[in-house]
Amino acid sequence: MLFKQQALLRQKLFVLGSLVIGSVLYLVARVGTLDRLQPICPIESRFHPPEPEQIPLRTLQFKRGLLHELRKGNATKDQIRLHNLVQQLPRAIIIGVRKGGTRALLEMLNLHPAVVKASQEIHFFDNDKNYARGIDWYRGKMPFSLPHQITIEKSPAYFITEEVPERIFKMNSSIKLLIIVREPTTRAVSDYTQVLEGKERKNKTYHKFENLAIDANTCEVNTKYKAVRTSIYTKHLERWLKYFPVEQFHIVDGDRLITDPLPELQLVERFLNLPSRISQYNLYFNATRGFYCLRFNIVFNKCLAGSKGRIHPEVDLSVVTKLQKFFHPFNQKFYQITGRTFNWP
């Protein structure tokens, strides 16, 4: 009798154990299914494709003619269809700084076979009217490219416009941001020179730089003057750091890009996780222009527009000194935040 009760108990325990094991296996399978149903990309990154693990540059070598057309923005309808060309949102943006060398940097990065550039400044994120047109309008302003290429645009006004960091973050929170800077006083004078030239073309008079940069009432630096305000790099960068970690920024030395561009370009290649392809062959010094020009291949060379490298007006040395002293503490903080030091006064 006892033997029968023990056998019956073992049978019930076996059935119960089978049910428990079956339930556990079901839950494990269910969790695995739920995991597979999770979105592949977070919300903010759904507008752009994931970055490829490796850019097939060997494939690009056999499409040199196509690359040449893409660089010029001249892809035909047949090329778009045949090569499955697409308009991609940028994975990197040169956000500033005005008169820091943004155009030169963009054109030089376009030497890389895996990079395509938006030729014009789009002003999507800093212009309310353009921004209201939506992300598809922005994508439509991008050049056609091969799916594994990286699209880059530049709009220097982005750096100093308050709404821009949040707007770019909403498009892509992991985007890479390039900032090219020059010695702040030199940059401010260059900014003034460009505006002055525009006034002179229209036969209009303009104030001297000294009168704009220094407040006549206080004899102190006039921070209301936009050219001065733009050169306070750390003030603008701090606003960007509310949305992006410092690791997503790369600081380019605009002064060095003029005199010795290759090392700066190699640093950008590494920051963008691009294979090193820009070499000294692609850069040659034009003694007549006084600047480096670009060699894309044996038949296609390019120099920057003649408006680059304007001659600056002479500025009173006491004003230059006052500006340099004013910028100095801001520069020190900029070095501390970015981890890059410059030999600025």
Quote the distance between the C-alpha of residue 222 and its chain's center.
30
| DSSP one-letter string for 250-313 | EEEEHHHHHH-HHHHHHHHHHHTT------GGGEEEETTTTEEEEE-SSS-EE---TTTTPPPP
pLDDT at 71: 65
pLDDT at 2: 42
Each residue of 290-318: pLDDT tens digit? Answer: 889 999 988 788 888 765 667 899 999 99
67 pLDDT band, cuts 50/70/90, is low
Task: Check pLDDT > 90 for residue 161.
Answer: yes
Percent of the chain exceeding pLDDT 90 equals 68
103 pLDDT band, cuts 50/70/90, is very high
> CA torsion sign, 266 to 270 to 271 to 277?
positive
Angle between helices 184-201 and 317-338 in degrees, nearest 10: 120
Catalytic residue, chosen from 12, 99, 117, 129, is: 99
pLDDT at 305: 74
Q: Which residue numbers belong to the known binding site for 3'-phosphoadenylyl sulfate?
A: 99-103, 182, 190, 292, 308-312
Each residue of 174-213: pLDDT tens digit? Answer: 999 999 999 999 999 999 999 999 998 999 989 999 999 9
Each residue of 327-345: pLDDT tens digit? Answer: 999 999 999 999 999 999 9
pLDDT at 297: 86
What number does CATH give the domain 60-184+231-309?
Answer: 3.40.50.300
Domain residue spans in the chain?
60-184+231-309
Task: Check pLDDT > 60 for residue 251.
Answer: yes
Task: Check pLDDT > 70 for residue 17.
Answer: no
pLDDT at 307: 58
99 given a catalytic annotation: yes
55 pLDDT band, cuts 50/70/90, is low
pTM reported for the whole predicted model: 0.79
Q: Which residue numbers belong to the known binding site?
A: 99-103, 182, 190, 292, 308-312
Phi first, then psi, for residue 178 (nearest 5°) are -110, 130
Angle between helices 317-338 and 233-240 in degrees, nearest 10: 30
pLDDT at 310: 75
